[in-house]
């Protein structure tokens, strides 16, 4: 029988939970060191007590950079079978988290099935679901209604919830003064802003934050404090709206920890490369080294159709400078709901960014698979190379689409293969080009 409500409470009491044991083994970290990091909030292990199929993962200081996949049902694309295909793809690629951003109809049918089968952490944004779940117009929703949706998602087994508690009257004032080029691009943030402006009330997630925390604590749900005022263009990055909200989030982080609720902090969306490192340091400082969940950052605004690349560039820089959790972006970003092919491209791009950052950060054993790949390349062992590749299926398809005469080369270099030439010389053999 559990003698604690949350992973953080257990850690503070000196208890190493089963989830901590699993994470410590995955991360090659001492269990007590991990427990200490959970106790002070620098590592979060999102693990709802009702998510029984979960394979726990840690997010934060000293751990591998984790990756999230967004999917879900929308009014224009409501094919549950296609969304479940995306889920299975994410699981097959070993993605650590899946966010169900469904915003159409009774979304709990899809979400319950997702929680039942997924070993990955499941996240949601209750604000997206509020209108459909409550069957009310935005203006008619009350503060208590919003809390009902949070509790419903928590009971179902969601491991972390994005709650935009940092946008309040103070931050809205800073946003309005700024006169942004792209205003508010957060879907949940824009709905809360609209609700606040139409009703004249404070953000209910800010006003009733203690009630939110009590619900989350009951089911050991991690709060992912959403950045409603994240920049939606490189023009708006690091502005007063973004920073004023970050300051509020720093305070909300401490309040959550006081209630033993684990925290993720969401970060900037669009940002020029030269600002990323400073933003990572600032976030960590203001939010007391809480795990940082990065949306992008997209480093240019002119690449629709290729935003998985703009995001991977920014994500790699962000993670190398302290970000702990990357949210993937697909080629369909800014254009339409991604299809299965888009999801795969987004996953691969984000996994490359996360792994490259882990190498740069010196995460234990991060380089091991690269060294294995390099050794296989030296020996020109194609099957072994395919087994180490992030997307071995695609690598095999490329190789086999233009097969060489000699299987110990590829069609790029042919007889002039550097590996083959050097291997022969080092083995004392003669090199012949004809």
Binding residues for substrate: 70, 99, 128, 164, 186-188, 227-230, 266, 293
Burial environment of residue 98 by CB neighbours within 10 A (0 to 12, 13 to 18, 19 or more): buried
The CA-based angle 330-332-337, given to 5 degrees, is 105
Q: For the stretch 176-197, what's the b/e string if a residue is b when 16 or more beta carbons lie within 10 angstroms of its beta carbon?
A: eebebeebbbbbbbbbbbebbe
Binding-site entries: 70, 99, 128, 164, 186-188, 227-230, 266, 270, 293, 334, 410, 413, 417
- Taking the C-alpha atoms of residue 236 and residue 181, their distance in angstroms, rounded to an integer, is 7
- Taking the C-alpha atoms of residue 168 and residue 173, their distance in angstroms, rounded to an integer, is 9
The residues facing 60 across adjacent strands are 43
Binding-site entries for Zn(2+): 270, 334
- Taking the C-alpha atoms of residue 355 and residue 67, their distance in angstroms, rounded to an integer, is 10
């Amino acid at each position: 029988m559990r003698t604690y409500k949350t992973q953080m409470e257990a850690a503070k009491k000196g208890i190493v939970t089963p989830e901590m044991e699993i994470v410590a083994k995955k991360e090659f970290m001492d269990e007590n060191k991990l427990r200490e990091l959970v106790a002070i909030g620098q590592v979060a292990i999102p693990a709802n007590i009702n998510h029984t199929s979960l394979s726990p993962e840690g997010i934060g200081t000293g751990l591998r950079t984790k990756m999230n996949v967004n999917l879900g049902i929308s009014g224009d694309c409501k094919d549950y079978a296609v969304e479940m295909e995306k889920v299975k793809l994410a699981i097959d690629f070993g993605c650590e988290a899946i966010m169900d951003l469904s915003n159409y109809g009774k979304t709990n049918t899809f979400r319950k099935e997702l929680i039942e089968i997924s070993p990955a952490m499941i996240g949601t944004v209750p604000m997206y679901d509020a209108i459909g779940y409550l069957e009310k117009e935005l203006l008619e929703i009350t503060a208590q209604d919003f809390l009902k949706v949070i509790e419903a998602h928590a009971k179902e087994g969601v491991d972390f919830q994005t709650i935009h508690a940092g946008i309040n009257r103070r931050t809205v004032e800073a946003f309005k003064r700024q006169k942004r080029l792209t205003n508010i691009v957060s879907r949940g943030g824009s709905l809360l802003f609209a609700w606040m402006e139409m009703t004249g009330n404070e953000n209910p997630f800010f006003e009733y934050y203690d009630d939110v925390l009590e619900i989350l604590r009951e089911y050991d749900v991690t709060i992912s404090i959403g950045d409603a005022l994240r920049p939606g263009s490189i023009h708006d990055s690091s502005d007063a709206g973004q920073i004023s909200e970050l300051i509020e989030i720093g305070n909300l982080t401490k309040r959550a920890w006081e209630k033993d609720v684990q925290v993720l902090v969401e970060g900037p969306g669009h940002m020029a490369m030269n600002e990323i490192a400073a933003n990572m340091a600032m976030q960590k400082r203001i939010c007391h080294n809480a795990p940082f969940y990065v949306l992008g950052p997209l480093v240019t605004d002119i690449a629709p159709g290729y935003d998985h690349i703009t995001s991977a560039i920014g994500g790699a820089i962000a993670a190398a400078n302290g970000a702990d959790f990357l949210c993937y972006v697909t080629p369909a970003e800014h254009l339409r709901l991604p299809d299965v092919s888009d999801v795969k491209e987004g996953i691969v791009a984000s996994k490359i960014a996360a792994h490259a950052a882990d190498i740069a950060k010196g995460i234990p054993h991060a380089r091991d698979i690269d060294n294995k790949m390099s050794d296989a390349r030296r020996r020109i062992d194609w099957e072994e190379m395919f087994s180490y590749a992030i997307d071995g299926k695609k690598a095999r398809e490329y190789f086999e689409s233009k097969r060489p005469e000699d299987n110990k080369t590829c069609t790029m270099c042919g007889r002039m293969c550097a590996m083959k030439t050097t291997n022969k010389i080092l083995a004392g053999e003669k090199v012949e080009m004809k």
